[in-house]
């Protein structure tokens, strides 16, 4: 090839490949398509799906949290707290967020006071959940100590815990709440809706770990529960419980009850029970201690109802206080049953029958009355009827209808067998004697004004019975140990055989005393029942009457009742 040709060839313009322009257009179209898709997606998310996505985002960050309501306080009649709610902290965890660091888990389990193996086993059980309790009802200081560890997945919530300043002294009356602060027993259960209040609600913002970022506002304020003012006087309650506990220990009894009632309006000033329990620490709880025996448990009252049966006898117009009954030889047979007195008392007037607690005298008088007389009197006095206090499980007792009664049944009813009552019913019945014949229904709550009451005994008969009750605690009577220095008091003893599987137990008794004080101007009615004393003495005059004396004497002084100028 010549030099000229080589020069021309080197200056020639290169020719572009035929597909170069096609590739450019293809790439350009791809870019445009991707841009269109992205713009469309952005438009879809920002415009069309925006409300939905925003709500989902809020749902994962914004929360509606319950504001716990403060449970209402229970106080005694003078405003002294008996049940209060204190703020506590509950720790919980999200097992799916909880730290996997073995060292942190060891530190956390130790801080919670848990065995590491138990802690790991519990975490394994809740591994598929997003919530588990770590520790409930901790003091704020103890909870903060654990929160300061800053363990991932551990959170806190505010709650309330019930505290009972009186402890075991008023446990059965007040009852208890469960771990969620809901009433389970006693007045806590009876007034649950009133005490609980209404929880509130607030809107808050949390991060993905559940930590509070800020509060967005309160949607509904929490409404605290109402305050409950009881009729009991905490001073009298402590004193009654102390004396009851001493008597139960001294006589090695199974338990006992003291009920003190205001004779003028029916308010229950004290209601003590044994066995009892500490509602602030229920470890090793004896289930028997949960029952409010004064309201729930029934028993045959025995001789303490003789004054009430005597009211029917005096109102019949067939007998008066001077009527004399021959009780010799100290026993009698009725319907193949033998009724006995402790000894042959011979001739007794009506006051003597109650003073000596003669079953023979009561039986002979009762058999002279029409069949319904004593039953009607007991019915008027509230036996066989619900007391109406609203206490859960309160008993109406048992007063069998007089259908085809035998003579023996009619007789035994007059001295306290064949019916069953509660200590509260017994106290209410005695208010009729103390209050000019008007019975006061019992009230566990403080009353703004005295109720009208229920006329149950002729006023003159009631006053006669007061004088007879006073003679029944005379210096030489079975109830003499119920006397109170400086005050005129009256009452009636009772010693009742307990029933077992095969009938009446010959070695188990209830010792009972019911009395009124002061006789000059009755203020209080007190019932004492000691269950199954086993230290030797078991008569009501020896076991229950001294408790009445101590409790009533202290109560009269605490209530500033002036002493009587003349005391028999």
Cα dist from 424 to 75, 117, 217, 420, 549, whole Å: 21, 52, 51, 12, 19
Tokens of 329: 């030889």
Which H or E run contains 430? Answer: helix 423-434
Interatomic CA distance for residues 400 and 386, integer angstroms: 15
Structure tokens at 71: 């449970």
Sequential DSSP letters for 51-66: HHHHHHHHHHHEEEEE
Strand partners, 62: 205
- State how far the Cα of 506 lies from the Cα of 499, in Å rounded to an integer: 9
- Name the nearest CA neighbour of 433 among 261, 554, 549: 261
For the chain, the straight-line distance linking the first and the last C-alpha, in angstroms and rounded, comes to 164
Q: By three-state DSSP, how is residue 474 classified?
A: coil
Q: How far is 129 from 93, CA to CA, in rounded Å?
A: 10
Residue 443 is a catalytic residue: no
Q: Which residues contact 44 (CB under 8 A, 6 or more apart)?
A: none
Whether 304 contacts 478, CB under 8 Å: no
Where would I find the beta strands (DSSP E) of 42-173?
62-67, 74-75, 81-93, 132-138, 154-163
Distance CA 564, CA 208 (A): 77
The residue among 558, 564, 529, 465 whose CA lies nearest residue 269 is 558
Please state, in angstroms and rounded to a whole number, the distance separating the CA atoms of residues 561 and 518.
9
Output the DSSP codes for 358-379: -HHHHHHHHHTS-TTHHHHHHH
- Closest Cα partner for 483 from 468, 494, 470? 470
198 backbone dihedrals φ, ψ, rounded to 5°: -120, 125
Q: Residue 156: which of 220, 209, 90, 57 has the closest Cα?
A: 90
Q: Where are the beta strands (DSSP E) in 442-562?
A: 454-455, 490-500, 503-517, 524-531
3-state secondary structure of 406: coil
Structure tokens at 54: 């925003």
Contact in structure between 479 and 528 (CB atoms under 8 Å) = no
Catalytic residue among 85, 109, 303, 414: 303
Query: Mind telling me the catalytic residues?
Result: 303
């Amino acid at each position: 090839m010549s030099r000229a040709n080589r020069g021309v060839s080197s200056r020639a313009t290169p020719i572009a490949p035929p597909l170069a322009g096609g590739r450019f257009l293809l790439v350009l179209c791809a870019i445009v398509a991707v841009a269109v898709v992205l713009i469309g997606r952005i438009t879809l998310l920002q415009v069309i799906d925006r409300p939905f996505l925003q709500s989902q985002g809020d749902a994962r960050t914004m929360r509606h949290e319950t504001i716990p309501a403060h449970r209402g306080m229970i106080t005694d009649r003078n405003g002294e707290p008996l049940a209060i709610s204190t703020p506590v902290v509950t720790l919980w965890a999200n097992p799916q967020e909880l730290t996997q660091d073995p060292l942190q888990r060891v530190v956390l389990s130790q801080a919670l006071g848990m065995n590491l193996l138990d802690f790991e086993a519990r975490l394994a059980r809740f591994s598929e959940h997003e919530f588990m309790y770590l520790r409930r009802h901790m003091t704020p200081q103890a909870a903060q100590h654990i929160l300061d560890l800053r363990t991932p997945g551990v959170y806190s919530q505010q709650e309330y815990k019930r505290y009972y300043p009186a402890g075991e002294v008023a446990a059965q009356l007040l009852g208890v709440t469960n771990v969620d602060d809901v009433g389970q027993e006693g007045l806590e259960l009876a007034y649950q809706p009133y005490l609980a209040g209404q929880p509130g609600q607030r809107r808050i913002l949390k991060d993905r770990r559940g930590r509070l970022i800020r509060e967005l506002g309160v949607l509904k304020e929490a409404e605290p529960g109402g305050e409950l003012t009881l009729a009991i006087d905490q001073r009298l309650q402590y004193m009654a419980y102390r004396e009851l506990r001493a008597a139960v220990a001294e006589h090695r009894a199974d338990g006992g009850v003291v009920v003190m009632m205001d004779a003028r309006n029916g308010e229950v000033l004290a209601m003590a029970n044994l066995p009892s329990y500490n509602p602030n620490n229920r470890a090793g709880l004896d289930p028997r201690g949960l029952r409010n025996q004064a309201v729930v448990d029934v028993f045959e009252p025995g001789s303490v109802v003789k004054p009430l049966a005597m009211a029917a006898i005096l109102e019949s117009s067939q007998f008066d206080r001077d009527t004399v009954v021959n009780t010799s030889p100290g026993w009698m047979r009725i319907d193949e049953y033998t009724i006995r007195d402790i000894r042959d008392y011979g001739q007794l007037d009506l006051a003597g029958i109650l003073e000596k607690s003669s079953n023979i005298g009561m039986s002979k008088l009762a058999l002279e009355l029409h069949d319904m007389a004593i039953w009607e009197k007991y019915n008027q006095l509230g036996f066989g009827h619900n007391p109406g206090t609203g206490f859960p499980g309160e008993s109406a007792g048992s007063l069998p209808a007089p259908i085809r009664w035998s003579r023996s049944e009619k007789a035994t009813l007059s001295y306290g067998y064949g019916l069953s009552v509660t200590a509260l019913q017994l106290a209410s019945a005695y208010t009729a004697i103390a209050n000019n014949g008007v019975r006061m229904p019992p009230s566990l709550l403080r009353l703004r004004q005295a109720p009208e009451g229920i006329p149950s005994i002729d006023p003159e008969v009631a006053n006669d019975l007061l004088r007879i009750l006073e003679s029944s605690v005379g210096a030489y009577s079975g109830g003499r140990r119920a006397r109170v220095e400086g005050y005129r008091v009256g009452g009636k003893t009772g010693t009742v055989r307990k029933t077992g599987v095969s009938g009446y137990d010959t070695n188990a008794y209830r010792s009972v005393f019911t009395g009124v004080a002061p006789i000059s101007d009755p203020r209080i009615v007190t019932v004492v029942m000691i269950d199954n004393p086993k230290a030797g003495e078991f008569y009501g005059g020896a076991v229950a009457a001294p408790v009445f004396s101590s409790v009533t004497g202290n109560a009269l002084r605490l209530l500033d009742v002036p002493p009587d100028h003349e005391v028999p």
